Structure 1
């Protein structure tokens, strides 16, 4: 048996990585595909930092990270030929890009008489591991999925290798220069940093149920970028949460199930970023460049919305409650198509990925998996509830630092383009108290 090519994609770690299981020599390979290079400077920086960290970890175990540029399928096949590899292993993934890559790998490995191994590792439970009755390929509603997910048999953690055997004579290739990124306060990449943060988070996870919606306290894990790039194993994080019976840990476990939920949705519907799950709800949207730009720049005049959008730019991350408020404001109040909002988030979010970013945008817009697609959120009431004293708003909107207490949440200096958007005549039957604010 020859060595195995471990084609790394979104599993940039040594802990619980099935690509490194087994006694055979392994060749860890990451291919920088230029087709993905310009999507987000923030994610590019995190990726390059993670690759550098992984190379250091592999070298400490006797191996190295082989870096190539180009088409991942062609480069994996080429390296397999040069090393005499009998197997190419890659983690199963769900996006349209990943599904095309897997189909091409299947065809090319058959043609070159190489075995292809698809491993788990991107999610807690692989998409398709649990299915609804009636022959459907995926769950459309979260609660029944969560029940099946929680009761399913999960795989065991893959042992972390102390040493890795790697064939000699392989040129590892140079790591690319780390770009500056766009967000000055974005988290650094890498498994080492991710595990440090995970350890700290598990010490306070019991508070999550009480604090996760407190925007000022910011008591969330901030592990999403490390899960998105696989610097942390989603299974390892989920097992740690499941072992803690506190309400906080169980609430956090539910959030990890939401992540898996959107992965199984995307596996069945890979066009989630561009096509609505519920076409009938993809109504005639407004297209107002001025209003969209005010929203993007955090200059809508609605303080809680502006704070969230400015946090996004500064950190490449946004509090989950702020993501909901800002996305709902764009789609339900301004009536603007969810796709430009989704793309703006994709540009800035370090944790931006197709299943979760797209799934949550569609949920908020009413075109996705929400069982109450016409629900609306009054941003002022949301701010008063989840940022009661305005600490979060003043943190990110310095113009309002002189406004004391909850008075900071009142809309101020609304641009004409945004004020026009507030006249959007969406359904208010279940939220009569919003009508006064919308027409103010």
Structure 2
């Protein structure tokens, strides 16, 4: 067997290894109409699917998730709010408040979140901070400090167009998950109908989020639309195994936003949330103990087995049966002594990585395969060049051979 044949076999072997992924990818390719979208496990924060999740977008009325939650957490629901002329003259969707009308803060929040009342949003902002601008500044600070998002800026409490009023699907998913932990908020956004008696408008409010009306598993939360933002939708849904957050931004038609959302919900139901309770102890190979002071939530596919492993630096790794990384949790460095043995706790706050980058990395073995592959290609190319050069060597009296075309002898490169 000559050297060229040996190298060819080596190269083919390398290609076989190269085309076999080291890390399995369970994510399917979904056809979505919305420009930006995300599917997230509400309890673990694991992103199960995303499409341009970090792209800066206009939120429209899903802004009211923030203004409503802020009013619930930092206002007094029994306060009596006097409606201003400015609120009375709000553009867009309203609950038809009258100037001088006196309404409880709780009722305004209901009108804001169930019926998307822009006038209610302005009345809330003016009551709590004196103006829309001041309240919007508090909204931005609130989500940064309480939720930890950094890519959202709010300029008003309702979501009417402003070029600087922006968010991302990822930010809104995290904000939504945080908001749904508040039981008052959760109850309001899950309300299907509410009797409304106002000074100029007596009616029954029906939740503007159509899936709240149509599906029992959908627990909230808010829809929106402006010409600039398109149709936006933030949704939570749950079954016995998982609670999901879905955010879709800039769909061209409301039907598309709802279709995308339902498609993502059904995709999400193939997963389940797993829990490791606070107090669970782990021991590394050197006998050091690590004790959880908080519950860890992570996400796996239904029926998937998993194991835990902790290294001597206090990094807890959760892996599936194929030894692929699912979740990471870093215990703090601080240590205390118990029975002359160091015991690591999470009193300083451990750090969870719900979407570990290691699960998408190339791995050492794949790097080796890449090196072998490209080295083989270079060697074969050099040998072929020398062979062709030898063939083109002619006697002085002969005319030089003109090669009009060259067919690559490696057809696999077309798909490389």
Q: Larger strand proportion, structure 1 or 2?
A: 2
Structure index of larger Rg: 2
TM over 0.5: same fold? no
